[in-house]
Amino acid sequence: MAALRETTERVADLAGEKYKYGFVTDIEMVRAERGLNEDVIRFISAKKSEPEWMLEWRLEAFRRWKEMTEPNWARVHYPKIDYQNIYYYAAPKSQGERPKNLADVDPKLLETYKKLGIPLSEQKLLAGVAVDAVFDSVSVATTFKAKLTEAGVIFCPISEAVRDYPDLVKKYLGTVVPVTDNFFATLNSAVFSDGTFVYVPKGVRCPMELSTYFRINASDTGQFERTLIVADEGSYVSYLEGCTAPKRDENQLHAAVVELVALEKAEIKYSTVQNWYPGDEEGRGGIYNFVTKRGDCRGRGSKISWTQVETGSAITWKYPSCILRGDDSVGEFYSIAITNNYQQADTGTKMIHLGKNTRSRIVSKGISAGRAQNTYRGLVSIHPRAQNARNHTQCDSLLIGAHCGAHTVPYIESRNPSAKVEHEATTSKISDDQLFYCLQRGIPQEEAVALIVNGFCRDVLQQLPMEFAVEAQKLVGISLEGSVG
């Protein structure tokens, strides 16, 4: 579109400003020594005042990790990670002791959160959202604790849960994602720094959306958060994970583990709007996002749904999955994955049908632009005992421009004759006709692309909690700036 090249160039000039969260906060940090060995692990454990059993758990994971090799089957290419050249623990120096209330929090930290638009103070909060903010490796403050305590909901950093609710943690930690599940999960088990713990008691509908913001600030530091959410019988909880990271030239590693457990008739809704720094237009810098997320629908009639909007990170490797163990359980996966410039994503889901009358639904929208590579990798597996299992998968790819790639690799395995598995995939592009139509109606190019792409993603955006749907839509537009032209 020659006539529009000028417009595109003007936009490209602004590219430096595009990722508006790319600032760095100048705060003195406390770090463990560089590299990974038993001493670093002890250091981390000591910093968090962990009980002996937790330290042992970590050390055992570290021993197993040393024997494993990094997986290489995904369609992502990256320079070898030097695991000994990373800091595995970083915390703001001024947070030596846990703050009692917001007045105790380092004002510079609070300012960072303000810049990010995260409302830490109770007055400015988005109606009814309890926010637990994680600044690098340490949770800074938890708001709305009182209201949740009243409902019996436990929502706290995992480091706190390890000390205050050891029985709960011991009961569930590592039961959905076993320590040796995969290379990055094992690494995480050894060095996880912080994360969220949620427990919703029987029959309780969590009175508000729970949310956690993560931020990777210190350079050369990996972020290894660990999240565990347990919904007891008949309970409901909706949780949102949002992330940002500063712009730097070197890559940063993010290897998280999320475990969800839904007991009988319980429901967990887990949404992620991920906006890690994707690297610049030349492919420099950016986050390596290697995450293991799994939900266990343990109880009869339980339900777990994953909704994600992934627009950042240089390399994404994640497969939020559901194990449909309980009879009548339901698993859902809604995803928008956008890759632009030199990003690479190999992401998807696994739905494992074990129980009877289980249902799963997958809607995946992949958008690829620039020179990016976007791969959907999914597994639907029906075990011989999964009587009457039902699955429907819709996976659509949108290509913007002639230099990117969109790939779909679905594995469909059925071993029960009464199961019905259906899968559809389409590939398309934004047609010149659609674009011209919008232009002629006065909608400038960037906005037109955002409009059309949001239309493409509508099925998934509808699944997000409302406040975050709006942010997600904006994010979609920002991620695709400069992609058409």
149 binds another protein, rule: CB under 8 A:
no
Three-class SS string for 379-441? EEEECCCCCCCEEEEEEEEEECCCCCEEEEEEEEEECCCCCEEEEEEEEEECCHHHHHHHHHC
State the minimum distance, in angstroms, from the CB of residue 385 to another protein.
Answer: 9
Q: Of 76, 156, 363, 438, which lies in the binding site for another protein, with binding defined by CB under 8 A?
A: 438
Q: Of 37, 94, 180, 434, which lies in the binding site for another protein, with binding defined by CB under 8 A?
A: 434
249 binds another protein, rule: CB under 8 A:
no
Please identify, using beta-carbon distances, which residue of 125 and 443 lies nearer to another protein: 443
Q: Tell me the one-letter amino acid at 93.
A: K
Binding mask 44-83 for another protein (x = CB under 8 A): -----------------------------x----------
- Contacting range for another protein; rule: CB under 8 A; set: 168-176, 206-214, 324-332, 418-426: 418-426
SS3 of residue 64 by DSSP:
helix
SS3 of residue 147 by DSSP:
helix
444 binds another protein, rule: CB under 8 A:
yes
Binding mask 357-386 for another protein (x = CB under 8 A): ---------------------------x--
Please identify, using beta-carbon distances, which residue of 146 and 402 lies nearer to another protein: 402
Q: What CA–CA distance (Å, rounded) separates 468 from 272? A: 9
Q: Which two tokens stand for residue 372?
A: 């990016």
Closest CA to 187 of 58, 65, 68, 80: 65
Number of residues that bind another protein (CB under 8 A): 63
425 binds another protein, rule: CB under 8 A:
yes
CA-to-CA dists, residue 183 to 149, 221, 226, 411, angstroms? 36, 18, 15, 22
Is the CB of residue 250 less than 8 Å from the CB of residue 219?
A: yes
CA-to-CA dists, residue 412 to 320, 349, 351, angstroms? 17, 12, 10
Please identify, using beta-carbon distances, which residue of 4 and 59 lies nearer to another protein: 4
**Helix axes 445-456 and 5-13, enclosed angle (nearest 10):** 90
- Contacting range for another protein; rule: CB under 8 A; set: 156-164, 293-301, 321-329, 406-414: 406-414
DSSP state at residue 152: T
Q: Of 51, 401, 465, 477, which lies in the binding site for another protein, with binding defined by CB under 8 A?
A: 401
4 binds another protein, rule: CB under 8 A:
yes
State the minimum distance, in angstroms, from the CB of residue 451 to another protein.
Answer: 6
For the chain, give the number of residues: 485
Site residues, another protein (CB under 8 A): 1-4, 6-7, 73, 384, 397, 399-429, 431-434, 436-445, 447, 451-452, 454-459
